[in-house]
Amino acid sequence: MTDASIPPPHAGSGRDQTLQSGDLSESPLTALRSADSLGFVMDVPVELCVEIGRRVMRLGELLKLGPGSVLELDKLNGEPLDIYANRKLVARGEAVVIGERYGVRLSEVLVVDEPPKPRRT
């Protein structure tokens, strides 16, 4: 196989750099995976959600609910709560009270070492 050059993403921008097919050790993807290089995403908002349990019920049962009704959920007392970031499970923890507000003490942070799936265009 020959050492074919790949043009830079901004071809014609005055840059003379090319990426050789065998020179992938210092690729931009490797640099992006470094924790130091993630500073540009640190201000991106993330929606956090804490789930204490779930329940499936029939519409007729739902319509009978009113003030004072109690819904039994699928989690047991003392079981860890699920914490989601943008609808993806990222941690588990326990409910705590801080002053007059609720909070969650993290007991487990889930780390997934799989590469991101390519986006379909």
CATH no., domain 47-112: 2.30.330.10
CB of 101 closer than 8 Å to CB of 86: no
Q: Taking the C-alpha atoms of 86, 90, 96 and 97 in order, what is their torsion angle to the nearest 10 degrees?
A: -20
Q: Does the predicted model carry a pTM greater than 0.85? A: no
pLDDT at 3 (0 to 100): 43
Name the nearest CA neighbour of 115 among 29, 49, 27, 18.
Answer: 29
- Residue in this structure with the two tokens 């804490």, named with its chain if needed: 50
Q: List pLDDT tens digits, range 10-69.
A: 444 444 444 444 444 555 555 555 656 778 888 899 999 999 999 999 999 999 999 999
Two tokens, residue 67: 């003030």
d(CA 66, CA 55): 16
The pLDDT tens digits for 83-119 are: 999 999 999 999 999 999 999 999 999 977 666 677 7
